[in-house]
Amino acid sequence: MLLIVNAGSSSLKLKVYEGEREVAKASVAEIGADGHRAALALALDEAGVPLAQLSAAAHRVVHGGAELTETCRVTPDVIDAISACVPLAPLHNPANLVGIQAVADLAPGLPQYAAFDTAFHATNPKVATAYALPAAERAQGLRRYGFHGISYAALVRVLRGQGNLPERLLACHLGNGASMCAIVNGRSVATTMGYSPLDGLTMGTRSGSIDGNAVLRLAELHGIAGAGRILNRESGLLALGGASDLRALHASDSPDARFALQHFAYWAVRHAGSMVAAMGGLDAVVFTGGIGENDPWMRTEILAGLGFLGVSSDPDANARNESTLHDATSRVAIRIVPADEERQIAREAQGLMAGEGA
């Protein structure tokens, strides 16, 4: 059995797979400092999975930088490379490393693998990833990376398996963290997130795209740490509408809540146009993530904004969150594909394990 670990700074989620079949899952929240080892043991016990039955563990790691561009076995060098990316993802990579260490502490010798949210976007052309900065600054790793790559890789796998993978796909991973990706023949060519997961769409608590000088002004007013807190934890839907969850905003129906919803939809359409331009056209729109899969109102707003591209949805199918949403007149396919990141990590790790066994 293969253990899939998604470690946050104060939480731990795990699933266990036999082949592609999920056989157990568990989660632990509000973990204190140095508590991940105990939390992992508790979660495995909750899931009813003895350590002796595990053949390996695989981890979601948010940032692999420019070097870690595919799922790999965890080695000391890989640990060093993940650590080197901590300045690029200070909210995520430290927690991912803690998860890896927790498994090593609890099960020494158990093979571990790492899958990276940035890896899927390694196919972006340099013109899409380079910031127009001096060479010395670019050498510090300041460039666009993109995120949600494991989700996008899973989406491509599912569509390919269904025989529904188009040439030019606008993939929309919409949740508390939100992004879009331009995918041509199954490969990422552009994405809305950049150096960090802050860039791009309006999100639950992240500002999305913001002028660099506005960031500098925030740093002048609140210090660097304060600016980072504001941009990552106190902005987005929360700042505009008073809640980071779209369900709460819909329920509120206050003027601020309505504005927050409109802001999310407006900027999603703006960024979608950029992704379509990067592909030179559009053959399909696919939604995934909590909002993408479950919010008919938001999908309607976004799809209406893309009507000039020949996008036309079936209101009844959309209201029922059906897997196929386009109507008979649409020139563009519209689908929902449930997020399947853990199974994607399992498949990639199992592929490596099979190769090692061979």
DSSP 270-300: HHHHHHHHHHTS-SEEEEEHHHHHH-HHHHH
- The whole-angstrom separation of Cα 202 and Cα 207 is 6
- The whole-angstrom separation of Cα 118 and Cα 236 is 22
| Same-fold call for 2-116 versus 163-336 | yes
Confidence (pLDDT) at 349: 96
Confidence (pLDDT) at 283: 98
Confidence (pLDDT) at 142: 94
Least confident of 71-75, 94-98, 142-146, 266-270: 94-98
Residue 60 predicted with pLDDT over 80 = yes
Q: How far is CA 136 from CA 130, 139, 140, 180, in A?
A: 13, 5, 7, 30
User: pLDDT confidence of 89, banded at 50, 70, 90?
Assistant: confident
Question: What's the whole-number mean pLDDT along residues 110-127?
Answer: 97
User: pLDDT confidence of 36, banded at 50, 70, 90?
Assistant: confident
Place of tokens 């020949």: 310
Confidence (pLDDT) at 15: 94
User: pLDDT confidence of 150, banded at 50, 70, 90?
Assistant: very high
Q: Name the CA radius of gyration of the chain, rounded.
A: 20
pLDDT in tens, 289-322: 999 999 999 999 999 999 999 999 999 999 999 9
User: pLDDT confidence of 357, banded at 50, 70, 90?
Assistant: confident
Specify burial of residue 280 (Cβ count, 10 A radius: 0-12, 13-18, 19+): exposed
Confidence (pLDDT) at 35: 82
Residue 110 predicted with pLDDT over 90 = yes
Residue 57 — φ and ψ, nearest 5°? -130, 145
- The whole-angstrom separation of Cα 340 and Cα 353 is 20
Pairing status of strand 284-288 against strand 187-191: unpaired
Residue 358 predicted with pLDDT over 60 = no
Domain 163-336: top CATH class: alpha beta
Residue partners of 17: CB distance under 8 A and separation at least 6: 1, 2, 4, 23, 342, 343, 346
**Contact predicate 318/299, CB 8 Å:** yes
Domains of the chain, by residue range, sit at 2-116, 163-336
**Count of Cβ atoms closer than 10 Å to residue 204 Cβ:** 20
Q: Taking Cα atoms as reference points, which of 214, 320, 201 lies closest to residue 260?
A: 201
Residue 95 predicted with pLDDT over 60 = yes
- The whole-angstrom separation of Cα 353 and Cα 356 is 5
Residue 274 predicted with pLDDT over 80 = yes
Averaged confidence pLDDT in the chain: 95
Confidence (pLDDT) at 11: 83
DSSP bridge partners of 115 = 60
pLDDT in tens, 219-253: 999 999 999 999 999 999 999 999 999 999 999 98
Reported as type and span, the H/E element at residue 76 is helix 76-84
When comparing pLDDT for 55 and 32, which is higher?
Answer: 55
Reported as type and span, the H/E element at residue 161 is helix 149-162
Q: Taking Cα atoms as reference points, which of 55, 52, 47 lies closest to residue 14?
A: 47
Catalytic annotation, residues: 117
Confidence (pLDDT) at 172: 98
Q: Which amino acid is at 188?
A: S
Which token pair is 12?
Answer: 């731990």
pLDDT in tens, 170-204: 999 999 999 999 999 999 999 999 999 999 999 99
**Contact predicate 39/28, CB 8 Å:** yes
Question: What's the whole-number mean pLDDT along residues 117-143?
Answer: 97
The CATH code for residues 2-116 is 3.30.420.40
- The whole-angstrom separation of Cα 97 and Cα 85 is 11
Least confident of 17-26, 154-163, 207-216, 268-277: 17-26
Calculate helix-pair angle for 296-305, 255-279, nearest 10 degrees. 50
H helices, E strands: number in the chain: 14, 11
